[in-house]
Structure 1
Amino acid sequence: MTTDLRVLDRSEWDHWYGRLELAFGGVLETQEERALYRELAEVDRSLGVWDGDECVGTAGAFSFRMSVPGGAFVPAAGVTMVSVAATHRRRGVLTSMMRRQLDDVREWGEPLAVLTASEPEIYGRFGYGIATHLLNLEIDTNRVRIAAPAGTDGVRLRFAPVTDAAEACERIYRRTIGVRPGMFARTPGWERLPLLDPPSEREGASPMQCVLAERDGEVVGFVRFHNKPQWGASGPDGSIIVRQLDAVDPAAYAALWRFVCGIDLTSSVTVRNRPVDDPLLSMVSDIRRCVVRMKDSLHVRLVDVGTALAARTYQTPVDVVFEVADTFCPWNEGRWRLTGDMKGASCERTQDAPDLALSVAELGAAYLGGVSLSSLAGAGRVRELREGALAVASLAFGSDPAPWLPHGF
């Protein structure tokens, strides 16, 4: 097969994006969705593989800054819009795009690449590790109550048009992004992403609604949701589908959850994409009446091991030598000495004897502190070469609170 891999030209974007839609089933997005992604797309960071005049492979990379343990925001290439035409599978198209893309990311000076995967088994062979997970919940609100901390009754709730409330909601997001690793500092345009409300995402429910939480005239939280009215033989059996919910303190947080769990004519709340340590789990009166499912979320790839490990801080003092395997990006292979604590870190090449042996995918999985090196060692993916090194390093890499990706890209 003779194909041509090249950086996308702006004039090719519509055809390129149409091939992406076809690869994901052929259901066309709304004009609003397509227009936003066309605006957000960084064409000079987008790749296409062409077979004659036909695009048979797509891959892009957004310019993100991602929060890491310690609160810093580190440049990260947000890998996105990856597809291969069904007619050109298993011919090396994806591998060629990943090869070119990671070479580009290194040249751009970005130490990390991140993505969300349609199929989680695909990207491990390119050095990505699953670094964050998310929870989906289905709450039986006929049986579950929300525990309200002191101050909850002092929070005022009011409906607001989604677009009118957008800036207030975005301010809440900006106040909370540094709290957890794995969140992005949204650049102009990205604040419009949570406002997209295509019918295909509503699951047969109402258009998006928004309720603001206020205290002393200041917005301290918000929820965006859909209401899905349903009636059964015994009466109303509607459900609420929560899209986003956030607040700056426990009282406002509880007030918003108590609201969505108490809406008339409904008997359940469906929640998509919550952190694995969400305080909601400690607010519900009966966790057994909440169906909780966990799935993978953000996959992380260290493009520059030394720069990436030095960019975050560590919960406890650590001095460890890693023997890193990285066949896809061989510039990372070899021994790296990491020294660090809560104040900062350094990571340099060394000839010293290694303490732990692992691949770059395990470093990616552990990077944000949500997956422990000890658990990876239990799966046979990390080898301890010096007794005691694993426990020290695993504790140091941890993060409290857990990392979380609040929205896709």
Structure 2
Amino acid sequence: MTLEMRALKADEWDVWYDHLELAFGGVPESPEERELYRSLTEAERSLGVWDGDTCVGAAGAFTFRVSVPGGATVPAAGVTMVGVSPTHRRRGVLTSLMRRQLDDVRAGGEPLAVLTASDPAIYGRFGYGTATYALAVDIDTTRVRLSVPPGTDGVRLRLVDPQRALADCERVYAALVPTRPGMTARQPGWERLPLLDPDAMRSGGSPLKCVVAEREDGEVVGYARYRVKPDWDPAGSDGKVEVRDLDALDPAACAALWRYLFSIDLTWTVRAQRRPVDDPVLHLVSDIRRSRPRTRDSLHVRLVDLAAALEARTYGAPVDVVVEVQDAFCPWNEGRWRLVAEAGGAARCIRTAEPADLELSVRELGSAYLGGITLTSLAGAGLVRELRPGALTEASRAFAGDVAPWLPHGF
């Protein structure tokens, strides 16, 4: 039968989302989560592939702005809800969805597309490169102590209802967005995501809790959202603190929040996931091994309009290089581009016929774009080729950032 691809109609959402649940294992989401994503779905950016009345493929996009080196927030399509029915694999459904979606992103003037991958092996062939990693820790608080900076004792902590504290927490989050690449500026409705707390997500833990850090004048300068998961064994309590969010505007507030989480009664482990890989907690703990740090890929970046994307960020060192870019899936990016920028200043990226200094694919540019993956490391894997001596070091220093890029939450 002929398959039809089209943008989602309002009355098709339930069928479309049922297909996605099936594609991701068939376990129904909670009514609260389903209602949230119904409200966030942008129907005109949500594609369905239909075999008669049956949805057999889907891909959506959210309208985001993502922070980049230099502090700007750049329009980006947040690619999401991608799935193909097991009955319609190997028919080009996914490729056709990616083709249509990137064409639409380009037509809409967004320089970037970004996603988190359920299976990271899928998206490289469409030009997405891994640009951020997330840190997870399981800290044994019976053996690990914190060394806190001056001023920590002066931070006042207050337990509050997560909903009532939302406005203060959102102000802290918004202040941090320009300081760390990879964060998404919160669009209307997305402030609800960190508070999503159905019973199905608790796995035996408590309802979501929130503690805020305040200065003497009462200004909120940090917060942590967490749940406590009680447990017992023959020796006594063995509870865990599961951290959802922890954001702070200064070192003292950050340390005070971590110290609070370490000291909750009847708990002996603090577990945090989706943290930045340079999280200050790594330097506050007395024993890094017993904190069991580990990382995994997080945000994948795809340059849709190469020149606009490279001009939207700043660079950490002067750069003047010609790059030869391969991009078979979005051929408008193919060819030689000259990138010129002063440290911290405006960049210019134009097509050129000059000899290339570096050769790479758009996937490697996506990985390096937010400053967390160096071009030098990619060259070590044979993914970037230096054609002019010294060009690799020059470009790698320019692209690298001072802080690790970070995606705080999924989408």
TM-score by length of 1: 0.99
Rounded Cα–Cα distance in structure 1 between residues aligned with 2:73 and 2:348: 17
Over the matched positions of the two proteins, sequence identity in percent amounts to 66
Structure 2 residue identity aligned to 1:378: G
Give the aligned partner of residue 314 of structure 1: 315
Give the aligned partner of residue 328 of structure 2: 327
Give the aligned partner of residue 345 of structure 1: 347
Give the aligned partner of residue 300 of structure 2: 299
Give the aligned partner of residue 397 of structure 1: 399
Give the aligned partner of residue 171 of structure 2: 171
Structure 2 residue identity aligned to 1:405: L
Rounded Cα–Cα distance in structure 1 between residues aligned with 2:23 and 2:180: 33
Q: Which runs of 5+ in 1 are unaligned?
A: none
Post-superposition Cα deviations, 1:181-240, rounded to whole Å, max 9, x if no partner, equal: 001111111101100012332232111111111112111111110101111111111110
Q: CA deviation at 1:148?
A: 1.1
Rounded Cα–Cα distance in structure 2 between residues aligned with 1:388 and 1:178: 31
Asked if 1:227 corresponds to 2:195, the answer is: no
Within-5 A mapping of 1:365-404: 365-404=367-406
Rounded Cα–Cα distance in structure 1 between residues aligned with 2:181 and 2:174: 14
Post-superposition Cα deviations, 1:157-180, rounded to whole Å, max 9, x if no partner, equal: 121111111111111101111110
Structure 2 residue identity aligned to 1:231: W
Rounded Cα–Cα distance in structure 1 between residues aligned with 2:100 and 2:53: 21
Asked if 1:101 corresponds to 2:86, the answer is: no
Rounded Cα–Cα distance in structure 1 between residues aligned with 2:121 and 2:270: 31
Q: CA deviation at 1:88?
A: 1.1
Asked if 1:81 corresponds to 2:81, the answer is: yes
Asked if 1:211 corresponds to 2:211, the answer is: yes
Rounded Cα–Cα distance in structure 2 between residues aligned with 1:281 and 1:38: 38
Q: CA deviation at 1:104?
A: 0.5
Rounded Cα–Cα distance in structure 2 between residues aligned with 1:264 and 1:58: 46
Rounded Cα–Cα distance in structure 2 between residues aligned with 1:377 and 1:81: 33
Give the aligned partner of residue 290 of structure 2: 289
Give the aligned partner of residue 238 of structure 2: 237
Post-superposition Cα deviations, 1:339-369, rounded to whole Å, max 9, x if no partner, equal: 0121110100000000000000000000000
Rounded Cα–Cα distance in structure 1 between residues aligned with 2:203 and 2:405: 28
Rounded Cα–Cα distance in structure 2 between residues aligned with 1:356 and 1:407: 34
Rounded Cα–Cα distance in structure 1 between residues aligned with 2:31 and 2:235: 41
Asked if 1:111 corresponds to 2:111, the answer is: yes
Kept in 1: contact 2:63–2:75 (CA 8 A): yes
Give the aligned partner of residue 161 of structure 2: 161
Q: Which runs of 5+ in 2 are unaligned?
A: none
- What RMSD, in angstroms, separates the aligned Cα atoms of the two structures? 0.8
Structure 2 residue identity aligned to 1:369: G
Give the aligned partner of residue 92 of structure 2: 92
Structure 2 residue identity aligned to 1:185: A
Rounded Cα–Cα distance in structure 1 between residues aligned with 2:113 and 2:56: 23
* SS of alignment partner, residue 178 of structure 2: coil
Structure 1 residue identity aligned to 2:199: P
Structure 1 residue identity aligned to 2:353: Q
Rounded Cα–Cα distance in structure 1 between residues aligned with 2:198 and 2:403: 32
Structure 2 residue identity aligned to 1:4: E
Rounded Cα–Cα distance in structure 1 between residues aligned with 2:29 and 2:168: 28
Give the aligned partner of residue 359 of structure 1: 361
